[in-house]
Structure 1
Amino acid sequence: MADIYDLSVIIPTFNEEENIASIIGAVNEVFQHSGIRGEILVVDDSSKDRTIEIVKGIAGRSDNVRLIVRAEDHGLSQSVVEGFGAARSDVLQVIDADFSHPPELIPEFYEAIRGGADIVIGSRYMKGGDIEQWPFKRRIISLGATAFGRILFPEVTDPVSGFFAVRREVVAGAPLAPRGYKILMEVLGRGEWQLFVEIPFVFKDREEGESKLRLDTMTDYLRQCAGIARFAVARRAGPVWEEWMRIVRFGIVGLSGIFVNMGLLYLLTEFAGLYYLISAVIAIEVSIVNNFIWNDIWTFGAADNLRFDRKISRFLSFQAVSMGGLLVNMGVLYFLADIFGVYYLIANLVGILIAFIWNYAINRHYTWKKST
């Protein structure tokens, strides 16, 4: 039954009477123009308006439109997962009903899957992507959620996107634990996949109806991230586990740098007779070199490790990031200790932690971006 259609477009709905007929028509028009044999599966969360009535009417006239009405365990992610199970094709596309996601891009997603991708993600944050008509508060919430998601999936620019396509085998049998609105995080964290592709798109705020975003969405999201992390650690496999192991290696290298720094500072000051500030400068630089070498070889395993020009480029970048981390550490120390009166050792510990996050994130996404 799974190969009756080329593509299944899953549209989760709740009170979408203003949009649902238009989005179904737009998707069917895309099917006609692209030659894709597609079905439209509307999964409704027991809408209180006329959404169900409208879809039933359309489904009665269209063989490729189906409706599932969910009576319990409500939620957008739960609706999408139910759609995965009911779809009658091996390529599954998720799209919002409110035209936030442009249906005209569906053929690009489908072709990327046919080209070998396991997951195709519509990204608002890669080059060519954008967001229109969003208030400042919602932008900040979205950026925060995206940044948090990229801790788990650093290569994905928009891991919380609701606009994506996936091969059926990625989610078939996967222990998805849907919660809230960020179903893509579940697919990335618990699905079986190797290759993902991102396609830029311009997110447009809903044309009709009311946004479903609520403050408790963030709570659900944080719980979801914690669940994905626990799953990755328990399974000891997958992209999240690999990223955590990379972070651990980065931390171990950082600790080795502390020992190098402290040991050299002591030797140069006590035995070589250098002024301690001069010793400190030398010790800091040697520890940076130590950290770079081990991170290049072990933490990030640069594929072009023997190419001298690229190694120098990475080292200069690492040096700059390390100096930035030092400034972050000192800034946090001063801010907490002098302005808020936090005990200086505790303030310094917080500064070290924030500087560590800074160093890892910038080096991961810039210094070694093309090498890992």
Structure 2
Amino acid sequence: MRWAGSKRTQSLPGSIRGYSSSGRLKEGSATTETYDLSVIIPTFNEEENIAAIIGAVNEVFRQNGIRGEILVMDDDSKDRTIEIVQEIAGQHDNVRLIVRKDDHGLSQSVVEGFGAARSAILQVIDADFSHPPELIPRFYEAIQDGADIAIGSRYMRGGNIEDWPLKRRVISLGATAFGRMLFPEITDPVSGFFAVRREVVAGAPLAPRGYKILMEVLGRGWWETFVEIPFIFKDREEGESKLRADTMVDYLKQCAGIVRFAVARRSGPVWTEWTKIVRFGLVGLSGILVNMGLLYALTEVAGLYYLVSAAIAIELSIVNNFVWNDLWTFKSVRDLRFGRRIQRFLSFQVVSMGGLIINMGILYLLADIVGIYYLVANLAGILVAFAWNYAVNRHFTWVET
């Protein structure tokens, strides 16, 4: 098994995106394989959907010649979910039910399902038809073709979200933004629709919590390659959404745990990315020192009008930041050709101006409109501008090839 590191583009057919990485290896334990594919469905009070989703998955198996099993991991439902699955399992040998009495949670259910599955390829899908079961063969083929993880993406070209209220869209985008700070090459790292090779999770120190099990697999699993498959997310057809306020708290704790895990081991994609973030921040601090020093020197020593001094100081601090980021922060993707360096500088200049506008806009909005103390408002503006500057430069100015 492989520990994920820096990624490089991999050629894959169709509209599936693919990347690979290099890292250290770890041996896994053998498992008895009686199926080609195990579809894991975590459930809690899904009596309205469970029979239909099992039927749909089995039909996908039949139409595509896949020898698959369906493993329902239930968190001791209080409705008729268990009874319905038991009845179906009595009629279909490839349907199994595991009722979990303790440590309830979607992520915990999926991890237990990883261990109970009887195949080398594991697919996770929701019971409420928000994930289209007809796409299962594409995930299966992606793993067969060499990917360690196949991820359904709502945010790449061809993906979308239907019938979601604004509040859920905002929450989802926020969670995705956090996830992309850890895994910037993945457009939807919080997707619940994914397939994984057993070796990725076998023996991995997963610490499941909440709903974002894919983040845990990416952060602690042993993987080298991944692909993304676009899909259209549809809100649940029947039943009630389980999104709660504590879900967001669990997610933030999960992200923090993944970062601590990466820092403790000083390896993996999260460690690589956060090394860049810290360097980018340190370079930004050096730019502040350059800005303040030049503003003072040009105004007090050279006698220039302070606004002229400020304009010169801002521009030279941008030059300072570009040079250090080009030589240090993003040295792994640096192209030394003069023309490419000029292109990077111009891109960095535009992004920096955008960050300045964001900073000033948030300062004005929070201080003058909301009434927040101006120093606190300015700090908020700096943080948002920093996130903007890093994210945009990471994906456009210094693009990994």
Instruction: Give the secondary structure class of the aligned counterpart of 2:127.
Output: coil
Q: 1:247 and 1:267, CA in 2 relative to 1: closer, same or farther beyond 3 A?
A: same
State the alpha-carbon separation in 1 of the partners of residues 247 and 390 from structure 2. Answer: 28
State the alpha-carbon separation in 1 of the partners of residues 195 and 94 from structure 2. Answer: 18
Q: Deviations over 1:296-341 (max 9, x none)?
A: 2321225351233333222222111111111222223333444455
Q: In the alignment, is residue 318 of structure 1 matched against residue 338 of structure 2?
A: no
- Find the counterpart in structure 2 of residue 179 from structure 1: 209
Q: In the alignment, is residue 53 of structure 1 matched against residue 76 of structure 2?
A: no
Q: 1:320 and 1:35, CA in 2 relative to 1: closer, same or farther beyond 3 A?
A: same
Task: Specify which of 341, 353, 358 is matched with residue 383 of structure 2.
Answer: 353
State the alpha-carbon separation in 1 of the partners of residues 256 and 100 from structure 2. Answer: 27
Task: Specify which of 193, 201, 224 is matched with residue 223 of structure 2.
Answer: 193
Q: 1:127 and 1:277, CA in 2 relative to 1: closer, same or farther beyond 3 A?
A: same
Q: 1:247 and 1:73, CA in 2 relative to 1: closer, same or farther beyond 3 A?
A: same
By how many angstroms is 1:185 displaced?
1.2
Q: Check whether the contact 2:35–2:119 (CA below 8 A) recurs between aligned residues.
A: yes
Write the letter of the residue equivalent to 1:171: V
- Find the counterpart in structure 2 of residue 125 from structure 1: 155
Q: 1:60 and 1:249, CA in 2 relative to 1: closer, same or farther beyond 3 A?
A: same
- Find the counterpart in structure 2 of residue 140 from structure 1: 170
Q: In the alignment, is residue 241 of structure 1 matched against residue 264 of structure 2?
A: no
Q: Deviations over 1:70-94 (max 9, x none)?
A: 1111111111111000011111100
State the alpha-carbon separation in 2 of the partners of residues 249 and 54 from structure 1. Answer: 55
Instruction: Give the secondary structure class of the aligned counterpart of 1:12.
Output: strand
Instruction: Give the secondary structure class of the aligned counterpart of 1:61.
Output: coil
Write the letter of the residue equivalent to 1:371: E
By how many angstroms is 1:344 displaced?
4.0
Which moves more between the two structures, 347-356 or 156-165?
347-356
State the alpha-carbon separation in 1 of the partners of residues 47 and 315 from structure 2. Answer: 64
State the alpha-carbon separation in 1 of the partners of residues 229 and 101 from structure 2. Answer: 34
Q: 1:32 and 1:254, CA in 2 relative to 1: closer, same or farther beyond 3 A?
A: same
Which moves more between the two structures, 112-121 or 331-340?
331-340
Write the letter of the residue equivalent to 1:251: G
Which moves more between the two structures, 75-84 or 110-119?
110-119
Q: 1:20 and 1:337, CA in 2 relative to 1: closer, same or farther beyond 3 A?
A: closer
- Find the counterpart in structure 2 of residue 114 from structure 1: 144
Which moves more between the two structures, 125-134 or 231-240?
231-240
| TM-score, L = length of structure 1 | 0.93
- Find the counterpart in structure 2 of residue 9 from structure 1: 39
Q: Check whether the contact 2:123–2:196 (CA below 8 A) recurs between aligned residues.
A: yes
Q: Check whether the contact 2:327–2:334 (CA below 8 A) recurs between aligned residues.
A: no
Q: Deviations over 1:154-206 (max 9, x none)?
A: 22211111100111111111121111211111111111212221111001122
- Find the counterpart in structure 2 of residue 101 from structure 1: 131
Which aligned pairs between 1:1-372 and structure 2 lie closer than 5 A?
A: 1-270=31-300, 272-301=302-331, 303-368=333-398, 370-371=399-400
Instruction: Give the secondary structure class of the aligned counterpart of 2:119.
Output: coil
By how many angstroms is 1:273 displaced?
4.7
By how many angstroms is 1:52 displaced?
1.7
Q: 1:267 and 1:212, CA in 2 relative to 1: closer, same or farther beyond 3 A?
A: closer
Which moves more between the two structures, 214-223 or 38-47?
214-223
State the alpha-carbon separation in 1 of the partners of residues 174 and 285 from structure 2. Answer: 29
Write the letter of the residue equivalent to 1:209: G
Q: 1:346 and 1:79, CA in 2 relative to 1: closer, same or farther beyond 3 A?
A: closer
By how many angstroms is 1:272 displaced?
4.6
State the alpha-carbon separation in 1 of the partners of residues 330 and 121 from structure 2. Answer: 34
Write the letter of the residue equivalent to 1:159: P
Instruction: Give the secondary structure class of the aligned counterpart of 1:245.
Output: helix
Count of residues in Structure 1 that have an aligned counterpart in Structure 2: 371
Q: Deviations over 1:25-84 (max 9, x none)?
A: 221222222222211111111122222222222222222221111111111111111100
State the alpha-carbon separation in 1 of the partners of residues 72 and 374 from structure 2. Answer: 57
Identical aligned pairs, as a percentage?
80
Q: Check whether the contact 2:326–2:334 (CA below 8 A) recurs between aligned residues.
A: no
Which moves more between the two structures, 119-128 or 296-305?
296-305
State the alpha-carbon separation in 2 of the partners of residues 16 and 345 from structure 1. Answer: 50
Write the letter of the residue equivalent to 2:380: V
Q: 1:55 and 1:317, CA in 2 relative to 1: closer, same or farther beyond 3 A?
A: same
Instruction: Give the secondary structure class of the aligned counterpart of 1:68.
Output: strand
Q: 1:91 and 1:267, CA in 2 relative to 1: closer, same or farther beyond 3 A?
A: same
